[in-house]
């Protein structure tokens, strides 16, 4: 056993491995490898701290660059340790984005590679966690943010990881990360008080418009498109969710009706999204 002047307690396992012990719950965190031994000794360093170097890092992304008020986004935050030593009690901080109520945020945490988190189950609000990170260990936080309908401006989420007192970080440049989304642009009809210009414009998927017969509108210069009817509906292409992949080259803004999800979908940021908010996908 080893004790540091700053209060940390360590120990070597006879079968190999150097660990730090949590003085509250007894949990151990692998700090480094060590040779096996059946005659381990110890020391109490009353005047000098025992410190280890560990390159902690973090990343965050929600996979999109825009957001729509009244919808939700999900961030994946990863905190890890490039080593060479493990750490116990690294502080992980993810504040609530400005303008978002804390109750609108839920998150979970999952450790891998021997890493653990103090987060249990699903929590709300800001993240203030203590993570135990052995070499190459990671903790992944999945954060869902429900954006108020009245939200405006950029949506920015930040994350930071800080070493405990008994650890030094040789590279602090990767200890913080930020993800920023801009509000998606919505287009409303223009207000035009000038005299209108007659426009012939048509849309068909039936391939039955005969060229040169006068039965199909070809004039499109300076065109606006108006679809009006008091007795008829506008029919868009209808596809089941499983068949959306048949559109091999979808374009931004493309629109279909999903018969499985029973919603109008628009292709936005590389994903088919239900058009559930007025004026915005």
pLDDT one-digit tens code per residue, 66-101:
998 889 999 999 999 998 989 999 999 999 999 999
Mean pLDDT of 26-30: 72
Cis peptide before 27 (omega within 30 of 0): no
User: Comparing 109-118, 176-185, 224-233, which segment has the lowest mean pLDDT?
Assistant: 224-233
Mean pLDDT of 54-70: 94
Mean pLDDT of 185-212: 55
List the domain boundaries for the chain: 2-50, 54-183, 186-281
pTM, two decimal places = 0.61
Please state the φ and ψ torsions of residue 245, each to the nearest 5 degrees. Answer: -70, -15
Mean pLDDT of 226-252: 79
Q: Between 262 and 56, name the one with better pLDDT.
A: 56
Q: pLDDT digits over 148-175, tens only?
A: 989 999 999 999 999 998 889 999 999 9
What's the pLDDT score for residue 4?
Answer: 61
Read off the pLDDT band of 205 (50, 70, 90): low
Examine the pLDDT at 63 and tell me if it is beyond 90: yes
**pLDDT averaged over the chain?**
81
Fold category of 54-183 in CATH: Immunoglobulin-like (2.60.40)
Examine the pLDDT at 280 and tell me if it is beyond 50: no
Read off the pLDDT band of 180 (50, 70, 90): very high
């Amino acid at each position: 056993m080893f004790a540091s002047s700053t209060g940390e307690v360590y120990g070597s396992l006879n079968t190999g491995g150097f660990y730090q012990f949590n003085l509250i719950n007894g949990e151990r965190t692998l700090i480094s490898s060590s040779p096996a031994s059946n005659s381990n000794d110890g020391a109490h360093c009353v005047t000098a701290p025992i410190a280890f170097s560990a390159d902690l890092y973090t990343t965050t992304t929600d996979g999109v660059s825009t957001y729509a008020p009244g919808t939700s986004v999900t961030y994946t935050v990863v905190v890890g340790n490039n080593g060479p030593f493990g750490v116990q009690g690294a502080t992980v901080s993810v504040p609530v984005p400005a303008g978002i109520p804390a109750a609108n945020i839920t998150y979970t945490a999952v450790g891998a590679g021997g890493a653990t988190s103090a987060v249990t189950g699903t929590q709300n609000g800001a993240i203030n966690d203590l993570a135990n990170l052995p070499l190459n260990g990671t903790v992944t936080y999945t954060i869902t943010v429900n954006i108020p309908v009245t939200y405006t401006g950029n949506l920015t989420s930040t994350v930071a990881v800080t070493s405990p007192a008994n650890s030094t970080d040789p590279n602090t440049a990767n200890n913080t990360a930020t993800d920023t989304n801009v509000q998606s642009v919505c287009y409303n009809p223009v207000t035009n008080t000038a005299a209108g210009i007659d426009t012939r414009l048509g849309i068909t998927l039936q391939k039955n418009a005969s060229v040169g017969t006068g039965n199909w509108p070809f004039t499109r210069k300076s065109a606006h498109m108006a679809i009006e009817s008091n007795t008829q509906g506008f029919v868009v292409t209808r596809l089941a969710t499983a068949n959306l992949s048949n559109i091999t080259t979808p374009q931004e803004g493309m629109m279909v009706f999903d018969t499985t999800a029973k919603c109008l979908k628009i292709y936005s940021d590389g994903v088919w999204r239900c058009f559930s908010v007025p004026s915005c996908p």
